[in-house]
Amino acid sequence: MSNLILRSPVDGWCGPLDEVPDEVFSGRMLGDGVAIDPMGAAVFAPCDGELIVVPASKHAVTIRALNGAEVLIHVGVDTVNLRGEGFETHVKQGDHVKTGDRLISFDLDLIARAAKSAITPIIVANGDRFRIASGVSNRAVSVGDELLQLISLGTAEAVQSTSAQTAARTFIVELEHGVHARPAAMFANGAKKFASTITVQAHGRKANGKSAVSLMSLRIRFGDEALVEAIGPDAGQAVAVLEALIVAAGKASVTNPKLRSQSAPGSGSNRAVSVAQLPSSSGALVGSGTGEALPATPFTSGSIKGVCASAGLVVGEAFHLARPEIFVEEVGQGASFEATELDRAHATVKSSLQRRIDTSHGAERSVAEAHLEFIDDPELIQAAQEAVSQGKSAGFAWKQAILRHVNLLNEADDARIRERVDDLRDLETQVLLAIAGEAKTHPLHIPQHAIVLARELMPSQLSELDATKLAGICTAAGGPTSHVAILAAAMGVPALVAAGPTVLAVPNGTRLVLDADSGVLHVDPAAAELRKVEKTLVARRARRAAEQAIAQRDCRTADGHRIEIFANVGALADAHAAIAEGAEGCGLLRTEFLFLDRQTPPDEDVQAEQYQAIAAVFAPRPVVIRTLDIGGDKPIPYLPLPHEENPALGLRGVRTSLWRMDLLHTQLRAVLKVRPLGQCKLLLPMITGVTEVRAIRAALDDVRKEVGLTSSIEIGVMIETPASAVIADQLIHEADFLSIGTNDLTQYTLAMDRSHPELAAQLDALHPAVLRLIATAAKAGRAQNKVVAVCGGLASDPIAAPILIGLGVTELSAIASVIPRLKTLIASLALDECRDIANRALGQSSAPAVRELLRECMVTKTGAPA
């Protein structure tokens, strides 16, 4: 018999392979066939034949029909990670079976919960000998229904080598789950690219290296020794490439290798570049592309500490993702050719960035704009061009130019500047991929509820992930103010960074609880812990719904006193989010977002356009615009500041503005362009004396007269130093309102660097010394019947609200996501109650004592943290 009818091996819904959420199957790397979403709990033989592969993990079988067709039935996706749990086999390898015999029983509920997908591919693995003539699709099938009709293409003939060249190599297999379907398909596809006959030997048996099924039949496991042998004209190259492929797959989960060799000049692919993509989904440990050693054994359970980059609590499964490994040759093919290749790749990436800017908004657009600035950096381009002129390849020249800039940024004292290194590395990857002709056109595939684990994540990678499937992010490196952190927060995706290399040892598919609020990743938590988290999430959703309803109303205490709740904003996208969360205005617009990640300062029109757009979102609510808070610990490249031994005590805030009056005048003109005039107010950072306020007011009057305005706008003073708090009674006569920046006020009061890792736990704005300075400023405001606000981090800590209100603060400007909870809490408080708590707090001896007092007082309050 040459032709064959295959019967459905399972009950379920039959669809095309394209629906399988795994590129090995959907890309037909193992062969063609169909996919069935099972509704039963058993697999039956689709034809008469011999079972040639029954893996120890019990999740799949391969049957060789009487006519030689090899049929793989793979229950679910990534079910090899279950290590046999939920599966029972009724046959063994070598058994002869009849159509309809029971082969495997499985727990469908467990697979649905624990695996990437329950969709079951049915694959004709030796498609070189058989063609699918007809088949069913997009309908329900039952066991025994006709599924596929196969037509024989004749007996396959062995490849005849045109050379007597032979090569062989022995290696140790380091794949965690051995050579199962995915790595077998990878190897076979790689082998098919060579003319030579390729065999693999293990356990005293041989297999055709170009047949995935044949490879799986060897049952090669982790730690086994295997021999790759090739005979033919390209035997040496074949063995070298295939050994590298399988070894790399074990050590770094290189699951989709695309090793690019020589190509003709002008083809859009530079021979000096080769790429190995790393979108791991195999369960092996993932390399980072940086040479960092990975943990030797999987981290299977316990907790990993990290730094919160985007708050939230989520349950999901581990999915490793890494940067592509990109290898470049140093010597080019001639300066003219390499210069053309560099220009082409540069233009390709630049065009891609411009498309993202044109089609995105908010944080994603801001990041793309920053990348566009970086890639057009004249020094970066010049450095790459000079290297090309000296005979280097385009890829090598670009990597060296990027490295030079990376080293410069790594020397910066400011963590935010150092975190721009990730953006440069992202651009390095994008351009090198473009040189290699590997510019990405498809989104990265991830499973449902994926918690992405990586050494570091590039902004371009994050933007390519399916946001509907992404549950969370945890990276070994990175920082909380990186562009990835900003994007994650904008997407509402919980994220931890700086969790250390241990996170790279968590096996794919492991159940995780990402508690970004507490800065912890829980690996494979117990069932009881999972139930507890699920209950917490249900309660949070219910509480969130109730808080959202309250957030849309004006904020008042339980006894009717008005407390305005504003939002801190750092970009247009933040403004939209703030309004959605119930913000009653913008209490702090950080204008630095316009000045950072640029090579030249933004002009008047650029600033005015952004200020107007944000004001329009808040209209008619007020918008408080802080003048440029740059300098000292926040340098910008086009503003060379003198060297300072202690930047935090040098040129920063308003001091920098008065030093560079040209920048100040441009910003003031831009603010005065916003309509309606008066909606926007100015806020002056780092004020320490009345002369600074008078100088800014004089500058504002000059600009106002210059543009022909007869009326002015309000000016507020930030209380960020002990000096400004102590003389708040003087400053309030010069200002229209006060706004307390508790972050710097705490740092300067306690003489602790807020970026010092060893002191972070002690740097608490609820320290009684800081509270007494806040009380002094609030008293000065009350005496003149002027608003005293808090816009620093303490305003975003709901537990502090009773104290701040009790001290006389009437406006809190917080991060948008906290506003509903903050309003809900305040609605439960009476003013006299807050005053009593505040007075008691001032008498405490430490910040922990203040927090304990608050916990005792608020334990019965709805929404208050216990």
Asked whether the beta carbons of 419 and 385 are under 8 A apart, the reply is: no
Q: Burial code of 435-465, b = ≥16 C-beta within 10 A, e = fewer?
A: bbbbbeeeebbbbebbbbbbbbbbbbbbbeb
Q: Indicate whether 179 and 228 sit together in one domain.
A: yes
pLDDT tens readout for residues 82-108: 778 889 999 988 889 999 999 999 988
pLDDT band for position 640 (50/70/90)? low
> What pLDDT shows up at residue 439?
53
Per the listing, tokens 């002369």 go with: 691
644 and 687 share a domain?
A: yes
280-289, 456-465, 646-655, 832-841 — which one is most confidently predicted on average? 832-841
CB 434 within 8 A of CB 485: no
Helices (H) and strands (E) in the chain, counts: 27, 37
Distance CA 207, CA 355 (A): 48
CATH number at residue 803: 3.20.20.60
Asked which of 188-197, 481-490, 661-670 is least confident by mean pLDDT, the reply is 481-490
Task: Measure CA of the first residue to CA of the last residue in the chain; give whole Å.
Answer: 75
- Quick check: is 269 in a domain? no
Give pLDDT, residue 420.
65
Give me the pLDDT at residue 284, please.
31
- List, for residues 363-398, the tens digit of each pLDDT value: 566 667 777 777 877 778 888 888 888 888 888 888
What would the mean pLDDT of 323-334 be, rounded to a whole number? 76
Give mean pLDDT, residues 471-488.
Answer: 78
What's the CA angle centered on 61, arms 55 and 66, to 5 degrees? 130
Query: 644 and 658: one domain?
Result: yes
Determine the average pLDDT of the residues in 227-242.
79
Q: What is the mean pLDDT of residues 170-190?
A: 70
Q: Is 84 exposed, middle or buried (0-12, 13-18, 19+ CB in 10 A)?
A: middle
Residue 413 has pLDDT above 60, yes or no: no
Q: Highest mean pLDDT: which of 131-135, 422-426, 526-530, 699-703?
A: 699-703
The pair of structure tokens assigned to 373 is 């600035």
680 in catalytic set? no
Last residue of a domain, one of 489, 505, 539: 539
319 and 332 share one domain: no
Please determine, for residue 656, whether its predicted confidence score (pLDDT) is greater than 90: no
Confidence (pLDDT) at 714: 94
CATH code of the domain in which 95 resides: 2.70.70.10
Domain count, the chain: 5
Nearest of 466, 362, 486, 376 to residue 422 by alpha carbon: 486
Kindly give the residue spans of alpha helices, DSSP state H, lying in 458-603.
459-464, 483-491, 527-551, 572-580
Which range, 129-138, 795-804, 857-866, is most confident? 795-804
281 within domain boundaries: no
Residues of the domain holding 142: 4-152
Catalytic, out of 474, 791, 834, 857: 791
257, 276 contact by CB (below 8 A): yes
Are residues 233 and 370 both part of a single domain? no
Q: Same structural domain for residues 763 and 707? A: yes
Q: Which residues contact 183 (CB under 8 A, 6 or more apart)?
A: 175, 246, 249, 255, 282
Shared domain check, 761 and 615: yes
Q: Residue 156 above 50 pLDDT? A: no
pLDDT band per the 50, 70, 90 thresholds, residue 624 = very high
Least confident of 25-34, 274-283, 594-603: 274-283
Whether residue 466 is found in the same domain as residue 430: no
Q: Does 754 reside within a domain?
A: yes
Q: Any idea what DSSP says for residue 482?
A: S
Average pLDDT along the chain: 79
Q: Cα 573 vs. chain centroid, distance in angstroms?
A: 18
Least-confidence region, from 17-21, 578-582, 584-588: 17-21
Q: What is the CA radius of gyration of the chain?
A: 32
Q: Which residues contact 351 (CB under 8 A, 6 or more apart)?
A: none
> What pLDDT does residue 286 have?
33
Amino acid 409: pLDDT: 66
**Active-site residue, from 483, 555, 767, 857:** 483
CATH of the domain at 532: 3.50.30.10
**Cα–Cα distance, 318 to 508 (Å, whole number):** 5
- Which residue from 582, 579, 572, 577 is spatially nearest to 549, judged by alpha carbons? 582
Whether 86 and 18 share a structural domain: yes
Instruction: State mean pLDDT over 144-149.
Output: 89
Q: What percent of the chain has pLDDT over 90?
A: 28
Query: Is a pLDDT exceeding 60 seen at residue 110?
Result: yes
Among candidates 317, 319, 338, which has minimal Cα distance to 397?
338
- Of the given ranges (317-331, 572-586, 715-729), which has the lowest mean pLDDT? 317-331
272 found inside a domain: no
Flag whether pLDDT at 748 surpasses 90. Answer: no
DSSP H or E run through 584 = none
**Of 56-60, 110-114, 360-364, 405-409, where does mean pLDDT reach its minimum?**
360-364
Helix (H, G, I), strand (E, B) or coil at 620: coil
Assess whether 791 carries a catalytic annotation.
yes
Residues 39-53: pLDDT tens digits? Answer: 888 999 999 999 988
For position 548, what pLDDT does the model report? 79
The pLDDT tens digits of the residues spanning 814-833 come to: 988 889 989 999 998 999 99
Is residue 658 domain-shared with residue 517, that is, in the same domain? no
Task: Judge whether 264 lies within some domain.
Answer: no
DSSP string, 190-202: HHTTSSSEEEEEE
* Shared domain check, 175 and 120: no
Task: Give the residue from 261, 221, 819 showing the smallest Cα distance to 579.
Answer: 819
Of 689, 757, 761, give the one whose Cα is nearest residue 718.
689
In this structure, the number of other CB atoms found within 10 A of the CB of residue 410 comes to 11
397 with 471, same domain: the answer is no
Range among 310-314, 369-373, 732-736 with highest mean pLDDT value: 732-736
Assign residue 373 the CATH number of its domain. 1.10.274.10
Boundary-marking domain end, from 393, 408, 437: 437
Give me the sign of the Cα torsion angle 10, 14, 20, 26.
Answer: positive
Q: Considering the domain boundaries, does residue 547 fall inside one?
A: no
Kind of pairing between the strands at 70-74 and 60-65: antiparallel
Q: Alpha carbon of 691 to those of 120, 121, 155, 358, 625: distances in Å?
A: 75, 76, 94, 45, 21
> Does the structure show a pLDDT above 60 at 327?
yes
Residue 495 belongs to some domain of the structure: yes
Pair 838, 851: CB distance under 8 Å: no
Instruction: Report whether 210 contacts 185 (CB < 8 A).
Output: no
Where does a domain end: 91, 121, 152? 152
> Is residue 289 over pLDDT 50?
no
Average pLDDT of the segment spanning 682-691: 91
pLDDT of the residue at 595: 80
3-state secondary structure of 20: coil
User: What are residue 842's phi and psi, to 5 degrees?
Assistant: -60, -25
Q: Are 823 and 555 in contact (CB under 8 A)?
A: yes
**Rounded alpha-carbon distances, angstroms, from residue 505 to 238, 456, 840:** 31, 14, 49
| pLDDT band, very low/low/confident/very high, at 160 (cuts 50, 70, 90) | very low
